[in-house]
């Protein structure tokens, strides 16, 4: 997607406002649950207290104005304002209370003290507009009697009525409770309602997305030159050891753009005869010296050695001779990262629909500000998509096969594994031996026997140990035999994936396993990704956020690692609502008056709209998205924060379609258009 610099700065400038008070750095989109609940409670109190006060204040201003008009009383000058002299009408407080009691509306028994209390509060709600004041004392008059209300008057400026009406409208607007639509009708929808031409256009748009993740040949050449340069500098400090530098991540498997990060792993051989401690010390010294020499090298404008991380890295910014600004990381001996990149590359090469679906998914996550290193990175999102595509038989589970010829019987064996805790346990001998109780069923696994066999042939699969973990997957010429039994279009698969995760996937019960090819492995079957306690709710946000891992995505090689471990529970529920919205954007509009927008804009244009502060800045709207986490009601609350039976009504639902239609017609809205031709040296392309 090509955008000019003005568009890019405009879209990114929306997001800092969204981040205000909504959580730690990186969690920009989805507010903390206690902020959502407090916002709803404050609004409800505002509707029952401030809203009532403003109604009384507006009535009082009208009473005083009517009295002045009926008696032909000229307004009194009470001072100077920014627009000249300030004039006012006034009326004794007792008469105001009496007039209110005559009006009824629940004020038949209102006291003078109550009226004065509300009007005193008006000094904060509408300062300088209406107030209770005392009469000017006169030397020849006796003191005011014991009744404190006598002698007090209500004084208001001549434009008080219009001002109070405006403030009343603003208060009602701010206190009006609205929620994001639940979009429940999408749960049973399909793309069958699209015409043949509409479906063809959608599939063409999805296929075109692949071109957005193809950097220019010149950019690829400069990235390769950077890797060669890092390798040469590493050899300068290699202390006599063999050194190689390679790309991994999105730059390795080709789902990247000109601006994508450059992830490099430097492999260094260990000195002969050295122990583990000596090797670690030698590697730390090597990394320190490499960072030092990079800082002195031309083109590296920023180099930071992050030695305290779980995996030490060197973060860098490099400006190429062709004026590309490249950001990236350098890690040491990252063989596992290379293996994961090759696994994704193999899946991408099996079926063109895989690259198309993953291209749209990645661009959607970037445009909607979903993926980041603090919650869920793009690798975790790729694992979610690959697990789904395997479950739909678009691609085979490469880590469970020795052949690409997969019969229905093999798929049936995989389904039996998914529903059998015993069969699943047999596939995790190294992990479960320490945590699972010893039984006759898993004894052979705990003894270290090979439990991973080909689904098709039943033969034992190779180990392929990489950095101490099993990293086998089927690759090579054998993959040419693969023929998918699923013939759905890429647009249909994309819609079905968004709809599944948005409505059917339950993170409390299900784990996502690309290795086993399932998005619904019972968490109770995985000792390393246990289910949540049925009594666990989000009532204690601190306990929930610190102890609960709501999203479970199994790493394909590090089976005990959860790729979704950093995602707070609110973020997970927000992600699943975003999945529902994504599926909704691909459907035709339910409202005839909005269908002209569908003709003017592609569904993919709406899918990729960036979030705006105008829609998402109010934390309270997320209560509908957090509905599952908010049950039962929080302690101390008499009613649920969000009740679908009461709150799923038009008056309390954000007009998402209408507000996004306004965003679509904006000149700053992103458009899907053909990518640029190959850039020449010195040219820059702003792209996601």
* Both tokens assigned to 454: 């080909």
Closest CA to 88 of 100, 74, 108: 74
What is the structure's pLDDT at 413? 95
Neighbours of 178 (CB within 10 A): 17
Strands 262-268 and 325-332: parallel
What is the structure's pLDDT at 276? 73
What is the structure's pLDDT at 644? 72
Among 151-165, 266-280, 383-397, 645-659, the range scoring the smallest mean pLDDT is 151-165
SS3 category, 289: helix
Cα–Cα distance for residue pair 148/50, rounded to 1 Å: 26
Q: Is the pLDDT of residue 447 over 50?
A: no
pLDDT in tens, 469-496: 889 999 988 898 899 999 999 999 999 9
* Both tokens assigned to 394: 């678009």
Q: Is the pLDDT of residue 446 over 90?
A: no
pLDDT in tens, 555-610: 999 988 899 988 888 889 999 999 999 999 999 877 555 555 555 678 999 999 99
Longest dimension (CA), the chain: 114
User: In terms of residues, how long is the chain?
Assistant: 688
Q: Is the pLDDT of residue 379 over 60?
A: yes
Q: Count how many Cα atoms sit within 13 Å of the Cα of residue 55 in the half-sphere of its side chain.
A: 14
DSSP code of residue 139: T
* Both tokens assigned to 467: 């950095």
Residue predicted with more confidence, 376 or 161: 376
Q: Is the pLDDT of residue 219 over 60?
A: yes
Q: Is the pLDDT of residue 330 over 80?
A: yes
* Both tokens assigned to 430: 């190294």
Query: 501-529 burial, b if ≥16 CB within 10 A, otherwise e?
Result: bbbebebbebbbbbbbbbbbbbbebbbbb
Residue predicted with more confidence, 311 or 45: 311
Q: Prior bond to 290 cis, omega within 30?
A: no
**Which residue is associated with the tokens 């208060």?**
171
What is the structure's pLDDT at 545? 57
pLDDT in tens, 62-81: 777 777 555 545 555 544 44
What is the overall mean pLDDT for the chain?
Answer: 77
- Measured in degrees and rounded to the nearest 5, phi and psi for residue 555 equal -65, 140
pLDDT in tens, 516-561: 999 999 988 887 777 776 555 555 555 655 666 889 999 999 988 8
Closest CA to 514 of 347, 338, 345: 347
Cα–Cα distance for residue pair 507/531, rounded to 1 Å: 9
Q: Is the pLDDT of residue 617 over 90?
A: no
Q: Residue 8: in which H helix or E strand, if any? A: helix 5-13
Closest CA to 128 of 93, 67, 82: 82
Burial of 373 per CB tally in 10 Å (0-12, 13-18, 19+): exposed
Cα–Cα distance for residue pair 507/524, rounded to 1 Å: 12
CB-CB contact of 333 with 243 (8 Å): no
CA separation (Å) from 408 to 216, 484, 513?
Answer: 42, 11, 21
Q: For the CA atoms of 159, 165, 171, 177, what is the dihedral angle to 10 degrees? A: -170
pLDDT in tens, 249-259: 999 999 998 98
Among 214-223, 288-297, 312-321, 365-374, the range scoring the smallest mean pLDDT is 365-374
Q: What is the mean pLDDT of residues 648-653?
A: 78
Cα–Cα distance for residue pair 572/562, rounded to 1 Å: 14
What is the structure's pLDDT at 478? 87
| DSSP secondary structure string for all residues of 173-216 | HHH---B----GGGGG--GGGS-HHHHHHHHHHHHHHHHHT---
Q: Is the pLDDT of residue 327 over 90?
A: yes
CA separation (Å) from 355 to 254, 330, 360, 574, 678?
Answer: 10, 26, 9, 25, 21
Q: How far apart are the first and last CA of the chain?
A: 6
Strands in 278-403 per DSSP E: 300-306, 313-319, 325-332
What is the structure's pLDDT at 603? 92
Q: For the CA atoms of 75, 78, 82, 84, what is the dihedral angle to 10 degrees? A: 50
Percentage of the chain surpassing pLDDT 90?
37
Give the model's confidence band at 103: pLDDT under 50 very low, under 70 low, under 90 confident, else very high: confident
Give the model's confidence band at 669: pLDDT under 50 very low, under 70 low, under 90 confident, else very high: low
Neighbours of 193 (CB within 10 A): 10
Q: Is the pLDDT of residue 357 over 60?
A: yes
């Amino acid at each position: 997607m090509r955008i000019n610099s003005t568009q890019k700065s405009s879209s990114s400038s929306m997001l800092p406002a969204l981040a205000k008070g909504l959580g730690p750095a990186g969690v920009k989109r989805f507010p903390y649950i206690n902020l959502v609940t407090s916002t709803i409670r404050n609004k409800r109190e505002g509707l029952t207290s401030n809203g009532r006060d403003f109604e009384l204040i507006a009535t009082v201003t009208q009473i005083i104005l009517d009295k002045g008009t009926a008696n032909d009383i000229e307004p009194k000058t009470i001072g100077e304002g920014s627009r000249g002299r300030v004039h006012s009408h006034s009326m004794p407080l007792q008469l105001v209370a009496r007039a209110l009691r005559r009006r009824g509306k629940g004020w038949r028994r209102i006291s003078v003290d109550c009226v004065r209390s509300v009007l005193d509060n008006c000094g904060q709600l509408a300062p300088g507009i209406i107030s209770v004041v005392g009469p000017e004392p006169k030397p020849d008059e006796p003191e005011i009697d014991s009744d404190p209300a006598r002698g007090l008057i209500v004084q208001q400026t001549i434009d008080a009525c219009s001002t109070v009406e405006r403030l009343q409208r603003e208060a009602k607007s701010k206190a009006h409770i609205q929620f994001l639509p639940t979009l429940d009708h999408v749960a049973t929808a399909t793309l069958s309602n699209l015409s043949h031409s509409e479906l063809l256009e959608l599939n063409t748009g999805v296929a075109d997305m692949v071109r957005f993740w193809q950097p220019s040949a010149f950019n690829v050449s400069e990235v390769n030159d950077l890797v060669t340069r890092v390798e040469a500098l590493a050899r300068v400090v290699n202390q006599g050891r063999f050194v190689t530098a390679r790309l991994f991540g999105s730059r390795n498997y080709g789902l990247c753009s000109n601006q994508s990060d450059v992830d490099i792993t430097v492999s260094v051989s260990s000195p002969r005869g050295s122990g583990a401690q000596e090797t670690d010390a030698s590697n730390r010294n090597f990394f320190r010296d490499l960072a030092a020499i990079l800082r002195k090298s031309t083109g590296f404008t920023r180099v930071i050695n992050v030695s305290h991380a779980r995996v030490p890295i060197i973060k860098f910014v490099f400006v190429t001779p062709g004026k590309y600004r490249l950001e990236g990381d350098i890690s040491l001996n990252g063989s596992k990262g290379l293996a994961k990149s090759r696994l994704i590359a193999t899946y991408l090469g099996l079926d063109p629909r895989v690259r198309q679906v993953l291209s749209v998914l990645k661009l959607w996550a970037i445009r909607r500000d979903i993926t980041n290193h603090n919650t869920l990175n793009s690798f975790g999102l790729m694992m979610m998509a690959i697990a789904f595509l395997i479950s739909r038989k678009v691609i085979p589970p490469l880590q469970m096969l020795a052949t690409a010829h997969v019969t229905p019987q093999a798929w049936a064996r995989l389904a039996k594994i998914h529903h059998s805790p015993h069969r699943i346990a047999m596939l995790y001998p190294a992990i479960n031996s320490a945590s699972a109780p010893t039984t006759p069923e898993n004894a052979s696994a705990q003894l270290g026997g090979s439990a991973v066999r080909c689904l098709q042939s039943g033969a034992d699969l190779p180990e392929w140990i990489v950095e101490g973990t099993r990293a086998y997957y089927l690759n090579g010429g054998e993959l040419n035999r693969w023929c998918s039994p699923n013939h759905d279009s890429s647009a249909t698969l994309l819609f079905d994936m968004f709809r599944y995760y948005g409505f059917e996937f339950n993170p409390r019960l299900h784990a996502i396993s690309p290795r086993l090819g399932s998005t619904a492995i019972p968490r109770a079957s995985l000792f390393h990704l246990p289910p949540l306690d049925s009594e666990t709710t989000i009532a204690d946000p601190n306990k929930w956020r610190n102890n609960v891992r709501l999203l479970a995505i199994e790493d394909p090689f590090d089976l005990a690692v959860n790729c979704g471990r950093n995602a707070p529970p609110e973020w997970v529920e927000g992600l699943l609502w975003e999945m529902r919205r994504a599926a909704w954007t691909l459907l035709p509009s339910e409202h005839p008056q909005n269908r002209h927008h569908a003709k003017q804009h592609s569904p993919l244009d709406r899918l990729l709209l960036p979030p705006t502060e105008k829609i998402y800045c109010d934390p309270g709207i997320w209560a509908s998205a957090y509905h599952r986490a908010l049950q039962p009601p929080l302690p101390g609350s008499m009613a649920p924060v969000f009740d679908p039976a009461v709150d799923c009504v038009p008056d309390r639902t954000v007009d998402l379609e209408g507000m996004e239609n306004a965003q679509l017609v904006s000149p700053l809205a992103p458009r899907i258009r053909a990518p640029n031709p190959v850039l020449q040296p010195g040219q820059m392309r702003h792209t996601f």
